[in-house]
Chains A and B, each alone.
Chain A
Amino acid sequence: MSYPASQNPHEDIRESTYVPELLKGMAITARVFWRNLFGERDLTTRVVERKGLSRVATIAYPEEKPVYPEGYRGLHRLVPRDDGRPRCVACYMCATACPAQCIYIEAAEYDPVDDLRASRVIEKYPKAFVIDQLRCVVCGFCVEACPKDAIRMDTFTHTPPEYSRQSFIYPVDKLLKGTAAVHPSDPWYRREGSGEPAHVHKEAHTRIGPAGRVEVDTGKPVPVTRFLK
């Protein structure tokens, strides 16, 4: 609604009587009212968990929710490995980058003879990983700082309301969820544990190629490399 720049609203009869503007506003309200009543909602915006055939534009949150757009920074999650433990190695990069200082980490060491291969290789894990969701400013720096793809904000939801402040302190068991992430570069696909591999001449072995002219017997206590003619 544009007005000529020279127009003084105090001298304008249309403005000073209020009536035309009032009717104009009523018309807008009525238009939305009738549209809501008979369902002319823009159907390109999806609403999840809506029951029935209602086409009313107003979303009755939290019973109904809109679908957040791609790239929405939602509630954090700690990404699990394919064996269910967190990918996080407690490097404190997220805690260092966090401008709100809402991440608290305590590191610990996995047993060198842990049951899980990835844990044997990785050594370090977060004994405590706590995010204070009340302090968090949802900037996503933690996700960008993470060198291990271990924290993501791809849950497409925001922090749910709680009754106490303590409930907003999210420990590992509240954060560890969602689908596992697997990268071919993950070190536990390259070795059995953090010790020295059984075959110490692995490098020469790979350079020549496993199907090449070298036969390696790793069954014996000392690896024997025999060159074939």
Chain B
Amino acid sequence: MSADAKPAEPPKPAGPPKPAPPKNPGFITCTIDGHEVVVKPGTNMVEAARSIGSDIPYYCYHKRLSIAANCRMCLVEVSNSPKLAPACQTAMSEGLVVKTSTVKVKEVRRSVLELLLLNHPVDCAICDQAGECKLQDYYMRYDFQPSRLEGPKVMKSKRKVLGPAVVIDQERCILCSRCVRFMAEIAKKPQLGIFGRGSHERVDVFPGGALDSNYSVNTVDICPVGALLSRDFRFRARAWFLSAAPSVCSGCSRGCNVYADYMGQDVYRYRPRDNEAVNRSWMCDEGRLTYKPLVQNRLVQPMVGRGADQREAPRSEALAVASSKLRPLAGQGPLAVMASAACSNEDLLGALSFAKGSLGVSQVYVSGRPGGRPDELLLTADRNPNRKGLEAIARALGLGLKPFADLVSAIESGSVKALYAVGGDVPIDVARFVPAAERLELFVLQAANEGPLVAQAHVALPAASHLEDEGSFIQEAGLVQRFRRAFPPRGEAQPHWRWAAELARELAGTTGVTASSREVWKALAAQVPELAGFDWDGAAPVARKAPGINPLPAAADGRPPGYREIVADRARGGTQP
């Protein structure tokens, strides 16, 4: 058969008309609830709707996890389909019209909630999630009708211990699979799975396994209901009594952004705060427990004397004793200064300026907490939040930094006889440093916690923790991060910079900055190139209320319900070890 014998191709049918060119080239233009929205291609409907302020409810969607679209809460009406579309899974397309609050959508939301609540035990009275629970919020907003279930609910395990930090109540679970996806995708340790069928499905660990990843408590944070619970926080406080202070975790040099949830002068938990540059939405389990030394076993009163002679003293007396003992040694060789890499920039600015100006030292020994094992996601080996800050400030002030080991050998050889220490942490086992501290003829210590070093100090001054003062850290990548004050310092404690300024006043009669850490920053930060460009006020995270129900954290007289002087001591003891 020759080529020309081939029958001519029939003319192609006209086909559908070509779509109109995009209204905004490179972007998707669509309509949500009557508002025109311009978004990047690939943006899903939940994020697009949020940008114009119409909230689409969801349980299983999380912006940092893969899309599961299994809770069906986010179904919305779309113009290109007769059926409702899951908003979390559907990307916006050109010219799409989305309606998020039509009668049909509302009816479907109510039905979905009824299904999710079918076997839910509704034991909000003993549930730690109550008050920040999406089931409660959405029930009040979209469902609000009694259960129509006849007969008993399916019963599952109500307190199964999954690992060292997490316990699960399988009855409360709505099977959104956020936790399963988190462990598989972010923590990269797929320790959780969904087992069973139908209404007997439950989230559990694999047989013989345990949820022992260092990121397991993140599953508690992302759990939209009260199924996964933190064993540390469980039953210790109701969520509506807690206030949240935007802060920075001081557990390692990563500097994860956190909310410190506190009531009175007690922190109850850390929650990760979104920061794309540092920790995204996560933090490690080890870091979550670092609030404990900030509230437990605190030094709250200045101590004067050493060993058996040690006694509590008022601030003025402690300052007088410390300055009278430091005065003859200022500028002499045997006096050394030790600064902890766990102190904030403001503390170090104040204390190192005092060390250089009044004590006349040219070198500073670096102390801090001992290092540890890093892990693959966030936790770093250096367990001090501000080593970069210490290095930058010492460099700017012209102070040399010497390792801690040199200090121990210098004390043992007798070349250092007096020590002014900023921060009570040492990078070796404290018991090994105590014999060296005993040899010191003068030991002035500013420490936040009680411990064997306090017993060795001639003058121990109680320091504030970073939750008790405004300030900043420089984390390992060189980012300066601001944290906010949660509550005033305990007892007689005050920040390192204020102790240093008061010592300087006693010692040399100079009028140091004693007003606030902001004044310290304004006076001293300009000389440090790493800090000079940092907008201290502008970078402060806004202490804004969490979304949802916001009852007053305390009543008119500033005390939480049930709080009274007589029982206040027990309230403080409520922070368990």
Contact = CB atoms under 8 A, between A and B. Distances in A.
A72 B453 CA distance: 60
B562 A98 contact: yes
A91 B234 CA distance: 12
Contacts of A11: none
B126 A104 contact: no
A19 interface: no
B328 interface: no
B155 A96 contact: no
A90 B237 CA distance: 10
B555 A106 contact: no
A116 to B, nearest CB: 16
Contact of B126 (A112, A124, A135, A202): A124
A194 B152 contact: no
A130 B562 contact: yes
Contacts of A148: 125
A102 B562 CA distance: 5
Nearest to B152: A206
Interface in B147-172: 151-160, 170
Given A101-B563, A200-B200, 16 more contacts: A89-B126, A90-B235, A91-B124, A91-B125, A93-B125, A101-B557, A102-B562, A102-B564, A103-B561, A104-B562, A109-B235, A124-B235, A166-B566, A169-B567, A196-B155, A196-B156
A206 B155 contact: no
B395 interface: no
Given A108-B235, A109-B234, A202 B561 contact: no
A190 interface: yes
A117 interface: no
Interface string A124-158: 10001010100100000000000110000000000
Contact of B158 (A98, A103, A195): A195
Contacts of B123: 187
Most buried by A among B160, B240, B567: B567
Nearest to B121: A187
25 contacts: A91-B126, A91-B130, A93-B125, A101-B557, A101-B559, A101-B562, A101-B564, A102-B564, A103-B562, A106-B570, A109-B234, A109-B235, A121-B158, A124-B235, A128-B570, A132-B566, A169-B567, A187-B123, A191-B155, A194-B157, A194-B158, A194-B159, A203-B151, A203-B199, A206-B152
B574 interface: yes
B152 A202 contact: yes
Contact of B157 (A92, A109, A195): A195
Nearest to B555: A101
Contacts of B151: 203, 206-207
Interface string A179-199: 000000001001100111100
Interface string A79-96: 000000000011111011
A195 B160 CA distance: 7
Contact of B571 (A93, A104, A169): A104
A221 to B, nearest CB: 15
Contacts of B157: 194-196
Contacts of A106: 570-571, 574
Contacts of B562: 95, 98, 101-105, 130
Contact of A122 (B126, B155, B559): B126
- For chain B, the bracket of interface size reads 35 or more
Contacts of A187: 121, 123
B439 interface: no
B126 A95 contact: no
B205 to A, nearest CB: 14
B550 to A, nearest CB: 13
B273 interface: no
A107 interface: yes
B561 A96 contact: yes
Contact of A104 (B121, B152, B555, B564): B564
Nearest to A108: B235
A123 B158 contact: yes
Contacts of A91: 124-126, 130, 238
Interface of A: 89-93, 95-96, 98, 101-109, 112, 121-124, 128, 130, 132, 135, 147-148, 166, 169, 187, 190-191, 194-197, 200-203, 206-207
Nearest to B151: A206
A130 B565 CA distance: 13
Nearest to A131: B562
Nearest to A169: B566
Given A101-B562, A101-B563, A96 B555 contact: no
Contact of A96 (B126, B238, B559, B563): B238
Interface string B193-230: 00000011000000000000000000000000000000
A149 to B, nearest CB: 11
B561 A95 contact: yes
B236 interface: yes
B536 interface: no
A107 B240 contact: no
Nearest to A107: B235
A122 B158 CA distance: 10
Q: Tell me which of B153, B159, B236, B551 has the highest count of chain A C-beta atoms within 10 A of its own C-beta.
A: B159
Contacts of B200: 200-201
A104 to B, nearest CB: 3
Nearest to B200: A200
A130 B567 contact: yes
Nearest to B567: A104
Contact of A89 (B125, B236, B567, B574): B125
B236 to A, nearest CB: 7
A98 B561 contact: yes
Chain A to chain B: the 6 pairs with minimum beta-carbon distance, closest first = A104-B562, A91-B125, A194-B158, A95-B561, A124-B126, A107-B235
B571 to A, nearest CB: 7
Nearest to B156: A196
B125 A104 contact: no
Interface hub of B200, B241, B564 (most chain A Cβ within 10 A): B564
B563 A104 contact: yes
A36 B153 CA distance: 65
A190 B170 CA distance: 17
Nearest to A102: B562
Given A197-B155, A200-B200, A101 B561 contact: yes
A67 B125 CA distance: 35
A117 B154 CA distance: 19
A147 B170 CA distance: 22
Interface in B281-295: none
A208 to B, nearest CB: 11
Interface in B115-131: 121, 123-126, 130
Contacts of B240: 96
Contacts of A130: 562, 567
Contacts of B126: 89-91, 122-124
Contacts of A102: 562, 564
B129 to A, nearest CB: 13
Contacts of B160: 195
Contacts of B124: 91, 147
